Chain A
């Protein structure tokens, strides 16, 4: 799948799933801007994208000024994004009875309100181009729920309704909006699980392994490509079968 000529903006690209996505899109020929919250993170992205057409930039997805600054800078340099990957996200897990308002707001702002802000900022250019791809990285938890993650699950489920509505609004302009919903993926977080936890997890997964970040990046590449031009408002579950919609 060839993305040459496309300009992809990938948030939360310093490690894990975001990094795999940024690399995959760059390999496919897209110009990629990957974002991180710190300067060091942005430099790391520039480093791993150095053999491709790509760079790291600092961005706080919860901050409108930060978003405006990045888009202005992209407009003046590589051009406005034609592919937006809303991947940046955080967790702040607590049982609801112990979850204070800040714990809730922080996760909703960073994981859900950010995609409102980012999408709005990027759509103007896409509408002009009459072409665009918005791919939001959700989670199987948005469908299944998980104890201790009511804030995270609410944000990820909210993302689905947002994506479907936006898909209906801007479909006539050739812009598609989809969600890729990972299951349990091998990352720093799942590396910390012990044998018992890991076995318990595997019982829920027909394919009997954790997903790789490449499994997610492949799904994103597909949705970003011309091959997925007629798919919008859809959620692509990449979870080894642990949840089938």
Chain B
């Protein structure tokens, strides 16, 4: 697992208060459908990613980040 991938997963587990190990988090998991996030959770998740990776994620991009893998890809390309 790359550093970015690991960090993103740590943030997801922490923000969504998931009761699993970081290594058990599937990349294909959808925040809302699989991990039980509500709309405010996803906003907080994006805020946490912005803070960790010191970037600003515009609203139109934030809307497209719905899975763990999409978050990893976004951060890899933009941060």
Which positions in A face B, CB cutoff 8 Å? 124, 127, 169-170, 172-173
- As a 0/1 sequence over residues 31 to 63 of chain B, the CB contacts with chain A under 8 angstroms (1 = contact) are 000000010100010010000000000000000
Q: In the complex, what residues of A have CB within 8 A of residue B47's CB?
A: 124, 127
A-B pairs, top 8 by smallest CB distance, nearest first, are A127-B44, A124-B47, A172-B40, A169-B40, A170-B40, A173-B40, A172-B38, A127-B47
Main secondary structure of the interface of B (DSSP, over half): helix
Expressed in whole angstroms, the Cα–Cα distance for A164 and B40 within the complex equals: 16
Query: Could you say which residues of chain B place their CB within 8 Å of the CB of A173?
Result: 40
Chain A residues near B38: list those with CB within 8 A.
Answer: 172
The docked-state distance in angstroms from the alpha carbon of A170 to that of B41 is: 10
Contacts of A124 in B (CB 8 A): 47
- Complex Cα–Cα for A173 and B15 (A): 12
Q: Which residues of A contact B40 (CB under 8 A)?
A: 169-170, 172-173
Question: What are 8 A-B contacts with C-beta separation under 8 Å?
Answer: A124-B47, A127-B44, A127-B47, A169-B40, A170-B40, A172-B38, A172-B40, A173-B40
**What residues of chain B lie closer than 8 Å to A172, measured between beta carbons?**
38, 40
Please give me the residue from chain B that is nearest to A170 by CB atom. Answer: B40
Shortest beta-carbon distance from B54 to chain A in Å: 15
Residues of A within 8 A of B44 (CB): 127
Give the residue name and chain of the A residue nearest to B51 (CB): A124
CB distance from A82 to the nearest CB of B (A): 17
Nearest residue in B to A169 (C-beta to C-beta)? B40
Known: A124-B47, A169-B40, A173-B40. 5 other contacts (CB 8 A): A127-B44, A127-B47, A170-B40, A172-B38, A172-B40
A173 to B44, CA, bound (A): 11
Give the distance in Å from the alpha carbon of A5 to the alpha carbon of B51 in the complex. 25
Contacts of A127 in B (CB 8 A): 44, 47
Q: What residue in chain B is nearest A124 (Cβ atoms)?
A: B47
Nearest residue, chain A, Cβ from B50? A124
